[in-house]
Structure 1
Amino acid sequence: MSKVTIRDVAKAAGVSPSTVSRAYSMPGRVSPATTKRIFAVAEELGYHGTPIESRPSSGHKGLIAIIVPDMANQFFTDITRSVQQECARQGAGLLVSESRESASLERVAFDRAVYYADGVILASSRMPDSMIRKCAQVKPVVVTNRIIRGVPSVVTDVSDGMRQAAEHLKDMGFDRVTYLDGPAHSWSAGICWNELTKACSEVGLRIRRHWPGVPTYEGGFKVAADYLRHPTGAVIAYNDMMALGFIAAMRKEGYECPRDYSVIGIDDDIVGRLAWPALTTIHRSTRLVGTQAAKTLLKRFKAADVDVPVQSTPTRLVIRESTGPRTA
């Protein structure tokens, strides 16, 4: 039997040889429907024009991928660990990639992952909705901390946590709060802002927004100078790392927490628990998010057309030493 060539695949798929080549080397340059058709035809014909271990396959290989914006962020590290644990329980492997908060790098990471993985988890994806839907047409996709129409999603419901945070600050005597917001392209940042605005309105807190922000220690550190020009006495940060960076910058200027101001983070990372003062924060269960995302993706291999609704996990306020009664 003669060796199957790229021209044989192109003829059977009804495309040009150059299109077949692009489907393998640059999947993002070929439509999802065409890419799937080419892969299916190549699989059927037994095309081995690229190394077998590096070419996409419609068969189940027991490997999934997760792409995260920032591996230095404990929130994403914990989600990844939970995904890994669920994969281990179900006998699957895990490929991990980082997009560095870039939508374009995330798409590149996805295009590379489809060579190896049966499906992909996009954690807090920075890609546009339309691009995520195209990715989901190439391989099974589950997104976390983001709702995309037609794509299975696992999110955290921040409404309870934000309401408890607003009530806590009001009980401490504050009437104003500054919110250190996240990236402009973050879906969860918009949801957090909307829920916080609603919660503050209900309890009678005025809110000042610093937006957009960089969701890192350094990002929180840089915001302190702006905050000191318009202090409110209470601060809620987009995540724990921003809150800790803000506390460090304020300490450098001679302000101590909670003596001079109060701070609340979001995530409940281990670093916030070990910091001084220990960080009051809105707890989000990364364990549940990662586990549910992995279960959902692995379930789709057994029933590809299963209709999986948006799944949500709860949040709650954890009070520690970074918040206290208003003193001025």
Structure 2
Amino acid sequence: MATIHDVAQVAGVSIATVSRALNGGPRVHDRTRERVLQAAADLDFHPSHAARGLATGRHGTLGVLVPDVANPLFSRVLAGITRSVQQRDFGIVLADSQEMPGREKELARRLSQQVDGLILVSSRMSESDVKELAGKLPVVVTNRQADGVDSVSIDAAHGMAELLTAIAGLGHQRVGYLDGPSASRSGEVKRAGLDSAAAAHGLDLVTWSTEAPTFAAGRAAAEMVLASGVTAALAFNDLLAWGLLTKASELGVGVPADLSVAGFDDALEEGMVSPALSTVSAHGDDLGVLAADLLTRRLADPEAPVATEVLPCPVLLRESTAAAAQ
């Protein structure tokens, strides 16, 4: 079995340089890193996590904290994270706060003692709590931003504004919106985009709150939405929209003939919803890949400038939206 000494000898470098190169450390020339990686591959050398932990003081694992592991958007984000970190030989510890900000804070505290860095997916924690956590270990937040913390998010305000603009273009004047959790930062941004577009197009916007952005919550809200007289209903996410759509259909309301319905995230697989759901793409997989890239970069170079990545989110009009009935 090859050892780190063998890799150093074949690559013509010191053992310390091999260690820095394999662990993504700074101060290693690109050509040297490539030579070390090639030598390790040729020798089929795989560093021991335990040995590496003793040498570096690291666990070899990254934490991922999500609000609801059953949410298909977060599943896509997690898939992107997994794909990225496995290429870097990290393990993942996953935790689910079940849409409870207080529970999320406690889980984050526990994870911070077990992992090298933490990805907070759509965190419901306050900005002060996020910044305090980032002072203890490398943290990346997704679907929101926090001052002084690496982040990757989407331009949700613009995406939601564009969706409402498209709905206005179909002739809808009274539009409903099923909102998400009150602690959601992306929810705040979406509402800002909606309010701006509603004012710009002179629309009557009716908003309802839901504490859990789930399929069941969408179904539960359906009768309230239908009684309001709106001709189109948008939702915080695809799960809410899906629940609303199915219940409306069961009640004999045609979608989109009587009610246009649209979600947000583009997280549902093709064919799951009929008619096909109009939505806004949240780039779930890309969010995960970029978040993992930012976290491993921060681990390799703690002094790197704070990174803020913002992805565009295009509107995807499908079969669940149509011109308002005359």
TM-score range, shorter chain: 0.7 to 0.9
Which residue identity does 2:79 align to in structure 1? R
Q: Name 1:235's counterpart in structure 2.
A: 233
How many angstroms does 1:286 deviate by? 0.9
Specify whether residues 267 and 56 from structure 1 end up closer, same or farther in structure 2 by C-alpha distance, changes over 3 A only.
Answer: farther
Which residue identity does 2:286 align to in structure 1? L
* Paired residue secondary structure (2:263): strand
How many angstroms does 1:95 deviate by? 1.2
1:209 aligns with 2:217: no
Specify whether residues 149 and 57 from structure 1 end up closer, same or farther in structure 2 by C-alpha distance, changes over 3 A only.
Answer: farther
How many angstroms does 1:58 deviate by? 7.4
Give the number of equivalent residue pairs. 276
CA RMSD of aligned residues (A): 2.1
1:222 aligns with 2:220: yes
1:294 aligns with 2:285: no
Find the aligned partners of 1:115 and 1:206 in 2 and give their Cα distance: 49
Which residue identity does 1:255 align to in structure 2? V
Q: Name 1:75's counterpart in structure 2.
A: 73
* Paired residue secondary structure (1:315): coil
Find the aligned partners of 2:282 and 2:101 in 1 and give their Cα distance: 24
How many angstroms does 1:139 deviate by? 1.2
Find the aligned partners of 1:260 and 1:57 in 2 and give their Cα distance: 65
Deviates more, 1:118-127 or 1:195-204: 195-204
> What percentage of aligned pairs have identical amino acids?
31
Q: Name 1:170's counterpart in structure 2.
A: 168
1:117 aligns with 2:115: yes
Find the aligned partners of 1:324 and 1:143 in 2 and give their Cα distance: 36
Q: Name 2:307's counterpart in structure 1.
A: 309
Specify whether residues 90 and 210 from structure 1 end up closer, same or farther in structure 2 by C-alpha distance, changes over 3 A only.
Answer: same
Q: Summarize the alignment of residues 267-282 of structure 1 with structure 2, pairs less than 5 Å apart.
A: 267-271=265-269, 273-282=271-280
Which residue identity does 1:120 align to in structure 2? L
- Asked if 1 retains the 8 angstrom alpha-carbon contact of 2:157 and 2:192, the reply is no
Q: Summarize the alignment of residues 230-269 of structure 1 with structure 2, pairs less than 5 Å apart.
A: 230-269=228-267
Q: Name 2:151's counterpart in structure 1.
A: 153
**TM-score after normalising by structure 2:** 0.80
Which residue identity does 2:301 align to in structure 1? A
How many angstroms does 1:312 deviate by? 0.6
1:134 aligns with 2:132: yes
Find the aligned partners of 2:317 and 2:137 in 1 and give their Cα distance: 42
Find the aligned partners of 1:327 and 1:178 in 2 and give their Cα distance: 16
How many angstroms does 1:186 deviate by? 0.6
Find the aligned partners of 2:58 and 2:312 in 1 and give their Cα distance: 33
Q: How big is each residue's C-alpha offset from its partner over 1:240-293, in whole Å with a ceiling of 9 and x where there is no partner? A: 000010112212221120111101100001246521111010111012211111
* Paired residue secondary structure (2:279): strand
Find the aligned partners of 1:91 and 1:135 in 2 and give their Cα distance: 24
How many angstroms does 1:161 deviate by? 2.1
Which residue identity does 1:228 align to in structure 2? L
How many angstroms does 1:213 deviate by? 4.0
User: Which ranges of structure 1 fall in alignment gaps of 5 or more residues?
Assistant: 1-51
Which residue identity does 2:281 align to in structure 1? H
Deviates more, 1:218-227 or 1:239-248: 218-227
Q: How big is each residue's C-alpha offset from its partner over 1:88-143, in whole Å with a ceiling of 9 and x where there is no partner? A: 12222111111101122212222222232100001011112222122112211111
* Paired residue secondary structure (1:97): strand
How many angstroms does 1:212 deviate by? 4.2
Which residue identity does 2:132 align to in structure 1? K
Find the aligned partners of 1:255 and 1:100 in 2 and give their Cα distance: 32
How many angstroms does 1:206 deviate by? 2.0
User: Which ranges of structure 2 fall in alignment gaps of 5 or more residues?
Assistant: 1-49
How many angstroms does 1:209 deviate by? 1.0
